[in-house]
């Protein structure tokens, strides 16, 4: 929180506060919203003023476009062309943690600032009932990046959002509880012949591959490893970073390090958080960001992270951890 300023207003996400949130959005204010992946910082997608406010509040570079959240595939089709490939993935995973990069329609009702002037647009139909209710009440697309300061760890609870912003930046936080999945959506570009994975996320590569084969490439089987020119413009090398230094593939903690452990039989350091004592990658993904924030809150200087298997959601977890450990700008 910024000293001297008050934190944003946190409200239980009942019908009344959802109606207030819809009015605030219509008034170009920012509202933080729960989704099944992480909290989003929502703004009226059609309003340049609201979107400019959003970039300013996050401290986000304006070349980094936003995800438009809509109620259903029919609403998505108002913003963008949904090719057969996209339709198949949408049928399988919407509502849910899938973001599709699509060709933007010529007169799509969305601010150019939100798409950073690109001719494509990232669209997602979230499953969280509070976000669905808000989308229905508001009636239009809501752009929402993860509700954290740019480059910082994503927020998976209302209190974590409140720690990154003040009431002048964010008019209201709708509290929908802890995010069920805890890691961002999987982003897939379907503007080409074959779908391309731009960001590993809450839907594992294998689940996408079962619907339609993804283009493979890159050292880790993704296309994102050239982080100097990322395909999703926001995927810069250093991201998701806690204050503490992060050391990967650690088998134990050194003096002064806290341990971010995984699986049974993990060693114990003075400060240890085990992402999943049973070795469950879905559970580990759900706990990752809150664990990094909790270790920061305890003031640890460095975090040693045990190896996480690369399969299933491990790919998304390792992607976030690599960026958390990358040299800071």
Residues of this chain that interact with ligand TXA (CB under 6 A) are 35, 37-38, 40, 64-67, 97, 99, 101, 118, 120-122, 124, 144-146, 184-185, 187, 198, 232-235
DSSP string, 21-43: HHHHHHTT--EEE--SSS-EEEE
Q: How far is CA 309 from CA 149, 279, 313, in A?
A: 29, 9, 9
146 interacts with Mg ion by CB under 5 A:
yes
User: How many other CB atoms sit within 10 Å of the CB of residue 14?
Assistant: 12
Q: Which residues, other chains included, contact 185 with Cβ-Cβ below 8 Å and sequence gap of 6+?
A: 37, 67, 97, 98, 99, 124, 199, 201, 202, 203
Smallest distance from ligand TXA to CB 34, Å = 9
Helix (H, G, I), strand (E, B) or coil at 257: strand
Q: Are strands 98-104 and 186-189 parallel, antiparallel or unpaired?
A: parallel
Which lies closer to ligand TXA via its Cβ, residue 51 or residue 144? 144
CA distance 41 to 124: 14
Q: Which does 150 bind (CB under 5 to 8 A by kind): Mg ion, ligand TXA, none?
A: none
Q: How far is the CB of 199 from Mg ion (least distance, A)?
A: 9
Task: Choose between 175 and 184: whose C-beta lies nearer to ligand TXA.
Answer: 184
* Nearest-angstrom CA–CA distance, 242 and 152: 6
Interacting partner of 64 out of ligand TXA, Mg ion, none (Cβ under 5 to 8 A depending on kind): ligand TXA
Q: Is 99 in the site for Mg ion (CB under 5 A)?
A: no
Choice between 191 and 274, CB closer to ligand TXA: 191
User: Based on CB atoms, which residue is closest to Mg ion, 17 or 169?
Assistant: 169
Q: Which does 8 bind (CB under 5 to 8 A by kind): Mg ion, ligand TXA, none?
A: none
Q: Does 35 bind Mg ion (CB under 5 A)?
A: no
Contacting positions for Mg ion (CB under 5 A): 146
């Amino acid at each position: 929180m910024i000293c001297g300023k008050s934190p944003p207003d946190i409200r239980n996400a009942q019908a009344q506060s959802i109606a207030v949130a819809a009015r605030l959005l219509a008034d170009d204010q920012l509202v933080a919203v729960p989704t099944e992946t992480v909290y989003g910082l929502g703004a009226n997608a059609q309003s340049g003023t609201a979107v400019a406010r959003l970039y300013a509040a996050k401290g986000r570079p304006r070349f980094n476009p936003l995800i438009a959240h809509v109620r259903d595939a029919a609403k998505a089709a108002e913003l963008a062309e949904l090719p057969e490939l996209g339709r198949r993935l949408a049928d399988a995973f919407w509502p849910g943690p899938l973001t599709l990069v699509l060709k933007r329609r010529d007169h799509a009702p969305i601010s150019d600032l939100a798409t950073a002037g690109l001719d494509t647009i990232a669209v997602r139909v979230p499953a969280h009932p509070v976000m669905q209710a808000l989308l229905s009440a508001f009636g239009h697309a809501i752009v929402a990046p993860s509700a954290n300061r740019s480059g910082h760890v994503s927020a998976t609870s209302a209190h974590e959002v409140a720690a990154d912003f003040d009431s002048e930046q964010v008019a209201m936080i709708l509290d929908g509880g802890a995010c069920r999945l805890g890691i961002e959506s999987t982003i897939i570009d379907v503007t080409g012949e074959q779908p391309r994975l731009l960001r590993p996320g809450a839907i594992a590569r294998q689940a996408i591959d079962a619907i339609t084969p993804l283009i493979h490439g890159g050292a880790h089987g993704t296309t994102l490893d050239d982080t100097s020119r990322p395909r999703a413009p926001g995927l810069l090398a250093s991201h998701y970073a806690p204050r503490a230094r992060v050391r990967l593939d650690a088998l134990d903690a050194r003096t002064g390090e806290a341990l971010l452990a995984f699986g049974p039989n993990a060693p114990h350091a003075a400060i240890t958080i085990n992402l999943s004592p049973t070795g469950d990658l879905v559970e580990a993904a759900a706990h990752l960001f809150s664990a990094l924030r909790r270790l920061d809150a305890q003031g640890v200087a460095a975090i040693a992270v045990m190896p996480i298997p690369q399969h299933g959601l491990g790919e998304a977890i390792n992607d976030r951890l690599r960026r958390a450990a990358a040299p800071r700008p």
